[in-house]
Amino acid sequence: MHSNSRAPLGLKFAAIGGLIFLLAPIALIFVYAFTTEEKSFQWPPPGLTTKWIGVTLGRADVWEALALSLKVAAISTTLALIMGTLTAAAVARSRFFGRETISLLVILPIALPGIITGISLRSAFSLLDIPFSTWTIVLGHATFCIVIVYNNAVARFRRTSGALVDAAMDLGADGVQTFLLVILPNIATALLAGGMLAFALSFDEVIVTTFTAGNQTTLPIWMLEELVRPRQRPVTNVVAMAVVIVTVLPILAAYYLTRDGEHTAGSDK
């Protein structure tokens, strides 16, 4: 639906007010990263400084947490890409017994509160005698990343005409060629978008991670510790700002990728 008439004034104010509510707290992070105040959250900041950026860059614990988060996000995204795409292809392309169940199963890890996923995985790990490691974090993350990839891929599979696969095979492409030359190029942007969002989600996850990390520290766990028992507020401010900047870029990229995809993939109809 789109209208060429102008919005009622009340609606416009409500909408813009809503936007301010959504964006202002994030903007605030950027100001606090430069405040000279170390002990409280005083507003307005008594003075501005860039020294805390340098201090943060020199902190080994921050770097280690960041490295672990990146590693976990990369592996879980890869796993999610494989499982999510396979499942999406099966659900979108064929009818089989249990198809409905699978599409429900996939959204379960995000439909149920994270704490439930966390505690049940933790009890499963202890039941199976699996010690906590990077891999237990990865498994927890992959569980809910799958749905992100799945949603993106299934939408693209549905938009991409099934006749394209028929056409490729009809023209002499075998299964491998059909996948590489026709299927993959058509779903690539959806996978890239889904992958980036899954990465962002994993990079940020804290609730499930607190149950599956043991005593390892990902960046969100580091943040959580700072929030519960603040030790060095200025460093936390800077880390918070860095995290915001890092998440903005994939969002913008994903936006442009999926927007273009809607034009190309649907054009055969």
Partner 1 sequence: MTDAVTFRGVSRHFGTVKAVDEVDLAIRDGEFFAMLGPSGSGKTTCLRLIAGFEQPTAGRIEIFGERAEGVPPYLRNVNTVFQNYALFPHMNVLDNVAFGLRVKGVGRAERHRAAEESLELVELAGYGARRAGELSGGQRQRVALARALINKPRVVLLDEPLGALDLKLREQMQEELRKLQRALGLTFVFVTHDQDEALSMADRVAVFAGGKIQQIGSSEDIYRRPASRFVADFVGSSNVVPADLAGVGISDQWASLRPEDIILDANGREATVTGTFFHGRVTKLSLDIKGQSLTALIPAHQTTPEIGETTRVSWDPARAHLMEREA
Partner 2 sequence: MSGFDTTQSAIFTPRSGPLSRMVDWVIRHPRMFVFLMVLPITLWLGIVYIGALIALLIQSFFSIDEFSGIVVREFTFKTYGELLRPYNLDIILRTISMATAVTIAAAVLAFPIAYFAARYAKGKWKALFYIGVMLPLWSSYLVKVYAWKLVLAKEGILTWLFAKLHLTWLLDGLLSLPVIGGNSLSVSYTGTFLVFLYIWLPYMIIPVQASLERVPGALLEAASDLGATPRQSFRMVLFPLALPGIIAGSIFTFSLTLGDYIVPQIVGNSRLFIGQAVYTQQGTAGNIPLAAAFTVVPIVIMGIYLWGARKMGAFDAL
Q: For 147-205, give the secondary structure using H, E and C.
A: HHHHHHHHHHHHHCCCHHHHHHHHCCCCHHHHHHHHHHHHHHHHHHHHHHHHHHHHHHC
The answer to whether residue 265 forms part of the interface with partner 1 (CB under 8 A) is yes
The answer to whether residue 264 forms part of the interface with partner 1 (CB under 8 A) is yes
The answer to whether residue 231 forms part of the interface with partner 1 (CB under 8 A) is no
Q: Residue 35 — φ and ψ, nearest 5°?
A: -75, 150
Q: What is the footprint of partner 2 within residues 31-70 (CB under 8 A)?
A: 32, 40-44
In 10 A of CB 123, how many CB atoms?
Answer: 11
From partner 2, partner 1, none, which one binds at residue 56 (CB under 5 to 8 Å depending on kind)?
none
Site string for partner 2, 199-218 (x = CB under 8 A): -xx-xxxxx--x--------
Helix (H, G, I), strand (E, B) or coil at 35: strand
| Site stretch for partner 2 (CB under 8 A), options 49-57, 107-115, 182-190, 260-268 | 107-115
From partner 1, partner 2, none, which one binds at residue 265 (CB under 5 to 8 Å depending on kind)?
partner 1
* Binding residue count for partner 2, defined by CB under 8 A: 85
Q: What is the footprint of partner 1 within residues 104-163 (CB under 8 A)?
A: 160-161, 163
Give the span between the Cα atoms of 177 and 187, in whole angstroms.
15
In 10 A of CB 46, how many CB atoms?
Answer: 9
Among 113, 185, 214, 266, binds partner 2 (CB under 8 A): 113
